[in-house]
Amino acid sequence: MTVGSQVKGCFSSIKSIEATLHLLSEKTTEQEAQQRYLQVEQLITEIKRDLQQHVIQLTKEEPQYK
């Protein structure tokens, strides 16, 4: 497994986590829990953006993706 495929797998997992946190924040009735879910979701979104840039860079560098 290449680094690129590992990063892509991580990116997919992060997207799933982001979606789950969003759903949890919408479903909870406890205000404090909702705020925490939203805060973590924002952090995960930032990480997802960074990983996406890394995926793009690796795609350009690794010959099997050409």
Instruction: List the chain pLDDT tens, one digit each, 66 residues.
Output: 778 888 889 999 999 999 999 999 999 999 999 999 999 999 999 999 999 999 888 888 867 655
Q: What is the pTM of this model?
A: 0.79
Distance CA 53, CA 2 (A): 17
Distance CA 50, CA 25 (A): 23
Distance CA 21, CA 38 (A): 7
Q: Cβ atoms within 10 A of the Cβ of 30, count? A: 9
Distance CA 11, CA 6 (A): 9
